[in-house]
Each structure stands twice: as structure tokens, then as C-alpha cells.
């Protein structure tokens, strides 16, 4: 059974969007990729309107089973950028919810580890790995496009990674703890480490 995922790299000036199909044995294929752009000198309302219209079009045209969005923490970028990303993220989540589509958030470290096995991979490494995974002739450009596809791949490979580490309860804490089992690949191990770090950061923010 084929599963379709839309990856969104949220941004107010450039918003990456990538659609992939996931088949058996985690084999993924490119369906569509684009970068939604808005003029930086325009007012906020029409810019968000342009992005919202584009997101609606993507959801209606490609009918994904899930949407994967980058989670950005305030300390990673300046306040204006964070606000723009948060506003775009809200639009995407709202439109997905209206259509009954699951939306999930992944940190940059989770995404990098998922596609490269290294949570601190640079933009070039992510682009090259996305090229290899999707069997493309050239790396997807610009970086926003590659990041959107990487987000979709991260979501596509989430379940297989979960299978190599059953969740167990830590006595007395009530929190699930990831435990890698034998056979996990280096990429999966790195991804799981990134997930654990991200979960720890989310708990601190509560």
C-alpha cells in the first residue's frame, strides 16, 4: 500500500513543499516539489494569504495521508523569523486538520539524522542524501525544497525506526524511553538519539 506524505519547510519569504510516495521496504519516490515565495516588502496579511492558498492547493491536488512540518525553537532564529515560521505552521496545521489529515512536527536534528544518520549534517549533505534517497539526477534546489523533501522522508521512515526500538516505561517516571534493539542501522541510531534529545527539550519547555 502506497502512503503519500507532504513535507513543509515553513517560511514567510520561502516555504518549501515536497510530496513523496512511500512504498514497501521504505522505498520512496518523488511526486512533486516547489518553493512557495512571497515578496518580503509586502504586508503580512496578503503574504499569509498567498501561502495559505498554495497550501490548500497542494493538499487538495495531492491528497497526502500525512503532513510533516519543521519544528523551530525560538532560540534557533531571530524573533521576526520565528513569528513568520509559527504563523505559516499554524496555517498548514489548520488546513490539514480541516481535511482530516494528520500533521506532525520534526526538529531539524531529527530530520538530518533520518536522511543522513548525522544530526548535525549541513545543508549540502542533506541535499545530497535526499538526491540519493529519491534517486534524482541532481540535488534538489534551493535548500528549502530539499528540506521539505527531507521532512517528508523523515515522516515516511518514522514507523520503521520505531520498530527497531520498542517503547518501555521508566519506573516511576511515567515517561516512555526509547530503547534501540539489535539490528538498528547507524542512521536509525542517530535518529533515535535526535528524537530523545528533542523529547527532552520539549519536556523542559512545558
Summarize the annotated binding site for Mg(2+) as residue ranges.
9, 70, 144
Look at residues 11, 18, 24, 19 and name the one whose alpha carbon lies nearest to residue 159. 24
Please say if 137 is a catalytic residue: no
For 16, the 3-state DSSP assignment is strand
Please say if 147 is a catalytic residue: no
Length of the chain: 206
The H or E element that residue 33 is part of is: strand 28-37
The H or E element that residue 205 is part of is: helix 186-205
Please say if 144 is a catalytic residue: yes
Q: Which spans in 136-185 are helix H?
A: 143-156, 158-163
Catalytic residue among 95, 110, 144, 195: 144
* Residue 63, beta-bridge partner list: none
Look at residues 186, 179, 187, 182 and name the one whose alpha carbon lies nearest to residue 162. 179
Cα distance between residue 131 and residue 149, in whole Å:
10
Summarize the annotated binding site as residue ranges.
9, 70, 144
Catalytic residue among 9, 21, 147, 195: 9
Catalytic residue among 21, 70, 110, 195: 70
Active site residues: 9, 70, 144
Amino acid at each position: 500500500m502506497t502512503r503519500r506524505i507532504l513535507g513543509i519547510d515553513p517560511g514567510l519569504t520561502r516555504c518549501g513543499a515536497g510530496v513523496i510516495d512511500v512504498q514497501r521496504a521504505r522505498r520512496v519516490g518523488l511526486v512533486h516539489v516547489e518553493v512557495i515565495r512571497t515578496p518580503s516588502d509586502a504586508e503580512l496579511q496578503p503574504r499569509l494569504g498567498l501561502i495559505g492558498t498554495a497550501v490548500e492547493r497542494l493538499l487538495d491536488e495531492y491528497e497526502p495521508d500525512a503532513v510533516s512540518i519543521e519544528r523551530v525553537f525560538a532560540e534557533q532564529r531571530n524573533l521576526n523569523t520565528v513569528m513568520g515560521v509559527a504563523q505559516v505552521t499554524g496555517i498548514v496545521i489548520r488546513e490539514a486538520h480541516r481535511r482530516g489529515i494528520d500533521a506532525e512536527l520534526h526538529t531539524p536534528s531529527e530530520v538530518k539524522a533520518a536522511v543522513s544518520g548525522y544530526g548535525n549534517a549541513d545543508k549540502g549533505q542533506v541535499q545530497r542524501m535526499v538526491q540519493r534517497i529519491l534517486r534524482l539526477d541532481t540535488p534538489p534546489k534551493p535548500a528549502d525544497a530539499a528540506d521539505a523533501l527531507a521532512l517528508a522522508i523523515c515522516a515516511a521512515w518514522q514507523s520503521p525506526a520505531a520498530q527497531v526500538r520498542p517503547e518501555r516505561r521508566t519506573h516511576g517516571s511515567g515517561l516512555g524511553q526509547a530503547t534501540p534493539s539489535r539490528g538498528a542501522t547507524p542512521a536509525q541510531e542517530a535518529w533515535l538519539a535526535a528524537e530523545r534529545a528533542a523529547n527532552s527539550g520539549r519536556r523542559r519547555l512545558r
